Structure 1
């Protein structure tokens, strides 16, 4: 197994800086997710590990070996692509075994390893099929098996579940997590889907504009966002981010008031509170933070998402599944004061409160 280390890595395409002064140590046997929106540099970072892109400056190590300039075939990494990248004219067995054939592994040993890996990903009854005879989930398992059969030092996975439907994604997430636990191989996983990041990762590196905004466990990223970007990117539905100002310890935005902030004055503030920390109340209660008409009611099954309109944006709360409010009905809301975050609207950094 292996660790992967980035030291002051920069990648430029002409004048465009895709990855900027990137420093990260991925631990041995860790499942590390690079998470961020399109164009944030996450795939470029992975491709530099694979050798498909060369770093403009800085150093990349697998264990103690500096891999800058090393040909991809000598890096001992295996990559799973979004598009599966299967050979359409080869059977499942031949697709899985192709990396071993290229390395001139003996046929008997090759067959043994293919059978073992196919059993792990539940493809042992489909080895004679062609890719066109498989479902999307089965094709993705073939791509995974082809990577696993090599027993590489590092797995690289570039949005491998994005082409699957919602049910298959859920199933494949569980399979991926179990496989990584079973194989104990260092894994770098790229995605823009924060649900995948939260469910799969040991740690998440949230990227934005070529830099890491925050690195931590899924629980740390969710419960303790350090920047406005991270707060808004993590969570489904996302955190409510309400612009306003703090005067004499009270946040105010178009009648939405939350008090008790130690810092007296912030002219450009953003208050963040997650939907599960906002609660419906009677409009006439004395301690409500906002009274407004209901804009939408969405039953999700296990709970109800209720949205109110505030100064041109929505404030969402997660209510009980039996919530009975109607659109345009005026209600009050209360926020859990100990679960409120305050950000500086200019620096985007979180303010200690």
Structure 2
């Protein structure tokens, strides 16, 4: 494996793929980093060279541009992330790779967004048992499980320093019980804003009289949803602090309860707690009928209790069941690193190399013909 093209379409997936691209730099490989406009600043901040692909007026023009880049570079393999948007860069690159018979692997950074219709990648890579279970149930393509490259970066953080930075900006939040809500998009997740506003209203009811504060962080690609939510919360006389411009690690460092509908932030928070010994719990808000269908689609409803016990988060499927006294935050022990004898980036490299070897062996295996 000498040449790899890595595709950066979605912000969440990009944060998984950036450490991979950085780690592959030292493996004597040629790397082509192709990214969407919104991911360019992230790659630039990490010191990565990249080519930004702008979306064309129609799919045909976009495919033509992607085809040009892939043919020119001629990679041995392509690594994409996953995104819920239609005709996104990940999907376009996968289609082009298929047409050129170039193997395409997908790093699934969130098990809530898995393609249900063709084209499918040649292999999946995921980072936890929930993702592995979800993908293997579909029996479509090979599935590999590695430790999380993105979350391994948390081991480099200083929890006390992060808290200090946050409280310098918001000194009035010291000594408060903080719930942080992470927004997504009503366009791609109908029922999302209704779910958030109902949950926030329930928090106000449950924590009445206690030293509690609500933080809300908008999705970088959908800031308009925060404006819509402001109208809803204003009508309910609910105050909150907008932390959309604050680094997410600082927000995590002061958060007791991290809530979202289906955001990767909830998963990120679990790893943050585990790596740094922070006390907190993540909450997936799945009580809205449209959102609860997601659990059915992944076949996870029957495993909800097991998932809840094995992770620092749980699924809130009935809003009336929300009781903070029954869901005490767990304090991570900061020992997750002890299980990783091989760094996550090296695990990904070995997976891709192994996949290519097996693919070559299958291609070279002579077919049997009946005479």
Q: Normalization by structure 2: what TM-score?
A: 0.29
Name the structure where helix makes up a greater proportion of residues.
2
Greater C-alpha radius of gyration = 1
